[in-house]
Amino acid sequence: MHIDILSAVPRLLDSWFEESILKRAQSKGLVEIEVHDLRIWSTDKHKRLDDYPFGGGAGMVMSVVPIHRAITELRAKRTVDEVIYMSPDGELLSQGLANSLSLKGNLIILCGHYKGVDERVREHLITREVSIGDYVLSGGELAAAVLSDAVIRLLPGVLGDETSALSDSFQDGLLAPPDYTRPADYQGWTVPEVLLSGHQARIEAWRAEQAQERTRQRRPGLLGRSDETGA
Ligand code: ADE
């Protein structure tokens, strides 16, 4: 998979992709991430990316010109499956959406700034808008990092144990059951007996029951939803 991220402040994303699992995924060749400074494509002599909105009003708007030039250049290099604009107006990010994006080959992610983008970007260049929640961030970079992380950890080989992404919360539409590790008794705080029993069928049944119960208590809205695992 190849992910191109277009940003007005690329520095914000540097450390995110240079650490831990995401770094390992890149060095193993499982994903290539390129964070591009949109100013490269600015035609303005001061390399500005924004301008005043037609009709007046507060705030600046990201211009269509550098964004169009950037996306055209990247599209000429590879077949792009989705051009995603991170925006609070977008489709809410879910595990199902992360799953479906993890099956794609090449993604472009555009981070918004200022008041937003010229509407023609959304009409003509963007194939999908994604929000990470019903709140407004000061830029799309954090949202792009969240989306990339959720997608990349699903790529085969990225997590050491192949089953661990499958047992994440949400992967079957339920929250994950509790986990414990040694010591089995820490100052009287004990581990459920069943987990020490060695009886795998009983353990699986207990985990399934715990996942149901935890979901019922904490996120009852997830129960009975069928859209969590596919998009
Ligand atoms: N940009 C600003 N706020 C955002 C949000 N909630 N999700 C995605 N992109 C954003």
pLDDT at 95: 96
Q: Looking at the predicted structure, is the pLDDT value of residue 9 above 80?
A: yes
Return the higher-pLDDT residue of 224 and 30. 30
pLDDT at 28: 95
CB burial string 31-56: b at 16+ within 10 A, e below: bebebbbbbebbeeeeeebbeeeeee
Ligand 1 atom at minimum distance from 132 CA: 7
CB of 7 closer than 6 A to ligand 1? Answer: no
Which of 113-122, 149-158, 161-170 comes out lowest in average pLDDT? 161-170
pTM greater than 0.75: yes
Q: Looking at the predicted structure, is the pLDDT value of residue 161 above 80?
A: no
**Residue 165: DSSP 8-state:** H
Percentage, residues of the chain above pLDDT 70:
97
Q: What is the pLDDT of residues 185-226, one digit of tens each?
A: 999 999 999 999 999 999 999 999 999 999 999 999 999 875
pLDDT (mean) for 63-87? 98
In this structure, which residue's CA is closest to atom 7 in ligand 1?
131
35 alpha carbon – ligand 1 mean position (Å): 18
pLDDT at 229: 47
pLDDT (mean) for 1-18? 94
CATH 1.10.1270.20 residue ranges for the chain:
169-229
Q: Looking at the predicted structure, is the pLDDT value of residue 43 above 90?
A: yes
Q: How many helices (H) and strands (E) in the chain?
A: 9, 9
Query: At 77, which helix (H) or strand (E)?
Result: helix 64-77
Q: Looking at the predicted structure, is the pLDDT value of residue 230 above 50?
A: no
Which residues are CB-neighbours of 197 under 8 A, at least 6 positions away?
203
CB of 112 closer than 6 A to ligand 1? Answer: yes
pLDDT at 163: 62
In this structure, which residue's CA is closest to atom 10 in ligand 1?
87
d(CA 59, CA 224): 42
137 alpha carbon – ligand 1 mean position (Å): 5
Maximum distance among all Cα pairs of the chain, rounded to whole angstroms: 71
Name the superfamily (CATH) of residues 169-229. Answer: tRNA(m1g37)methyltransferase, domain 2 (1.10.1270.20)
Torsion sign over Cα 220, 223, 224, 226: positive
Q: What is the pLDDT of residues 105-116, one digit of tens each?
A: 999 999 998 789
d(CA 187, CA 167): 29
Judge contact between 181 and 170, C-beta under 8 A.
no
Name the superfamily (CATH) of residues 2-152. Answer: SPOUT methyltransferase, trefoil knot domain (3.40.1280.10)
Judge contact between 69 and 41, C-beta under 8 A.
yes
CATH 3.40.1280.10 residue ranges for the chain:
2-152
pLDDT at 231: 43
